Amino acid sequence: MIFSVHVEVRLRPGIADPQGSTIERALPSLGFDGVTGVRVGKSIRFTVEGADEASARAEVEDMCRRFLTNPVIEDAVVELTAAEAAGASS
């Protein structure tokens, strides 16, 4: 089975986010008021093959821990959806 995966990588709460702070500071002078708490993360999308959803999710979470994120400062949120009509690969 083939799954579409979306991994959102966020900085953990409390970890400084200089990129987000810079955006937040710049906004009022560009005419946008009322924006607070800007946090910038990564969004990684890919497809993965697995026997079932549980094993695909386990593989993706292992990938997150090992090299898509830095678990000391980042959290990952994994979304998996079955991608039908993706078969016929042989």
- How many CB atoms are closer than 10 A to CB 75? 15
Binds a copy of itself (CB under 8 A): choice among 18, 67, 72, 90: 67
Q: Least separation, in Å, of the C-beta of 35 and a copy of itself?
A: 5
Binds a copy of itself (CB under 8 A): choice among 15, 21, 22, 49: 49
Closest CA to 39 of 5, 70, 8: 8
- φ, ψ for residue 87, nearest 5 deg: -75, -150
The HSE-up count of residue 3 (CA atoms within 13 Å, CB side) is 20
Q: Does 58 help bind a copy of itself (rule: CB under 8 A)?
A: no
Binding site for a copy of itself (CB under 8 A): 8-10, 20, 23-24, 26-27, 30, 32-50, 59, 62-63, 66-68
